[in-house]
Amino acid sequence: MKVYCCERNVTSLPLDVEPLVACTHCDLIHRDTALPAHGQALCTRCGAELYGAGTHSVDHALALALGAAVLCVLANLFPLIRFNLQGVDATTTIVGAVWVMAQRGMVVLAALLAWAAVLAPAIMLSGMLYVLLPLRLGRRMPGFARAMRLVRAMQPWVMIEVLMLGVLVSFVKLDKTGAVEATAGAWLGVALMLVLAGLGVAFEPRMVWRSHDALRVPVPPDVRAQACPDTASAAASDLAVCKVCGLISGAHGGGQRCARCGAALHLRQPQSLSRCLALLLTSLMVYFPANLWVIMETESAFSVRQDTIMSGVIFLWREGSQDLAVIVFVASVVVPLLKILALGVLLACVRWQWPVPRVQQARLYRLVEIVGKWSMLDLFVIALLTAVVDFGSMAAVRPGPAAIAFGAVVVLTMLAASAFDPRYLWDAQDSGLKGRHG
Ligand SMILES: [Zn+2]
Ligand SMILES: [Zn+2]
C-alpha cells in the first residue's frame, strides 16, 4: 500500500513536536506520518520512496541476514552447472569461473566478477550481521555507523539475481552443444536471490537506526528544535540531510559531519555534475569498442566462431530462444545506451533547464538506478561458459577484448548514476538556491 506523506507546512506545527523527513531525491521536507502495516510513504513532489511502515523488526531482518549468509557460503561451495560433451564432464562454481578467467590473463574481468558475485554480497551481509546481532542482544557496538555506511555502499553492487539469469542464458547456449544440467549451486543461488530480495525490504535503515538510537543515551541533537524559514526544500532552509542515516541537521555553511553516523554532510554532493559528466563521456567512448569488438570466441574441432554482443543475440534468436535473445539484447545493448542517454538528458536538464517535466526527470533517474546492474548479464554468461567449456581442441570458449570494454561501460555508468545528485533537478524550482551548482 502506498501512502503519500503530508508536505510539511512549517507554520502548522511547532518543529520540536514534529519529526521531519527529507526526500533524498528532491530534498523536499515532509512530516513523519504513521503508516498502515506494509504501507510506504512517498514523496509528494517526486514520488520517490521516503520510508516504509517500519513493520519489520530487527529479529526479522536478522533471521533473513543469517539465512542469506549460510546460503551465500553454500552457493559458492557447490557447482552451478554440469556440462557433458562426448562423455567428458565439466562443472564450475562461480569462484571456479573467476579463477579460470584470472588464469587466462583476464584479471580485471575476474576481479569484477568476484566483486559482484562474491565479495560485495559477503561484505554487505557481514556488515548487516555486525549491526543486527548486537542490536538483538541490546548491545552497542563500536563502528556501528561505519558498518551501516558499508552496507549502503555495497547494496548496488550485489548482483546475485543477474548471475542467476546468466546461469539460465548459459544453460540455453550450452544445451545445443552437449548435455547440460543445473546443479546444487544453481538452486542454492536461486534461494539466495529470494532471501536477499526479502532482506532488501526487511533491512530498513530507518528501523535499524531507531533501534540503535533507543540504546543510546543521549540521543544525538536533532534539528527538530530549530526554527527554519517556510520554504520547500531542506537546502533552501539551510538544512543538510544525511545520505546514510537520514538525520536532518543545520547546514551552517557546510563542511561538518552527521551527529548520528559521522558521514560528511553536504547540501548537494560536491562536484556531482562534473564527475557524472566525466564518467559518462568515458563510458560513451568505451561503449563503441564494447559493441564492435569480439566479446567471445568459441573454438570447436572444426571451426572458430567469433561473436560480438549483437551476433551473440542473433545466435540465441536463431537457435529458438527468442525470449532470452530479447533479454540479452535489452541488458547488453539497450540498458547501457539508455543509461548514458538518460544521464546526458538529466545533466542537460540541470545545466540548460530543458523543458522536461520535473516529475518525468525524477522517474528517469530512478529508472537508471534500477536497471543499472542488469548490464552485467553478458559478462556472467561469458565467465560461466569460459569455465565450463574447456575441452582443449575439442571445444573451448574464450572471452574477447570487448569483454573488458563492456565491463568498463557497466562500472562507469553505475558510478556516473551514483555521482549524479538528483536534488539538482529541483533546485531551479526551489527559491534561494540559485548559483550553488557545483
Ligand atoms: Zn522527492
Ligand atoms: Zn547520518
Cα–ligand 2 centroid distance for 282 (angstroms)? 32
Closest-lying ligand to the alpha carbon of 232? 1
Residues 226 and 242 in one domain: yes
Residues 225 and 325 in one domain: no
Residues 197 and 239 in one domain: no
Instruction: For helices 377-388 and 402-419, give the axis angle rounded to 10 degrees.
Output: 150
Q: Band of the pLDDT at 188, cuts 50, 70, 90?
A: very high
Q: Would you state the pLDDT for residue 437?
A: 42
Determine what percent of the chain is predicted with pLDDT higher than 90. 43
Q: Would you state the pLDDT for residue 285?
A: 94
Q: Would you state the pLDDT for residue 334?
A: 92
Residues 81 and 109 in one domain: yes
Cα–ligand 1 centroid distance for 37 (angstroms)? 22
Residues 241 and 312 in one domain: no
Cα–ligand 1 centroid distance for 21 (angstroms)? 10
Write out pLDDT tens, residues 127-185.
999 999 999 998 888 889 899 999 999 999 999 999 999 999 898 888 877 889 889 99
Find cell 536533532 and name the residue.
222
Closest-lying ligand to the alpha carbon of 220? 2
Cell representation of residue 248: 536532518
Residues 335 and 349 in one domain: yes
185 within domain boundaries? yes
Q: Band of the pLDDT at 434, cuts 50, 70, 90?
A: very low
Cα–ligand 1 centroid distance for 381 (angstroms)? 37
166 within domain boundaries? yes
What residues make up the domain containing 176?
57-217
Write out pLDDT tens, residues 336-350.
999 999 999 999 999
Q: Could you give phi then psi for residue 23, rounded to 5 degrees?
A: -70, 125
Q: Band of the pLDDT at 8, cuts 50, 70, 90?
A: very low
Residues 50 and 176 in one domain: no
Domain count, the chain: 3
Mean pLDDT in residue range 412-426: 92
Q: Would you state the pLDDT for residue 235?
A: 81
Mean of the per-residue pLDDT values of the chain: 84
Closest-lying ligand to the alpha carbon of 361? 1
Q: Band of the pLDDT at 254, cuts 50, 70, 90?
A: low
Q: Would you state the pLDDT for residue 261?
A: 83
Write out pLDDT tens, residues 36-85.
777 778 888 888 888 877 677 899 999 999 999 999 999 999 999 999 88
Mean pLDDT in residue range 231-248: 79
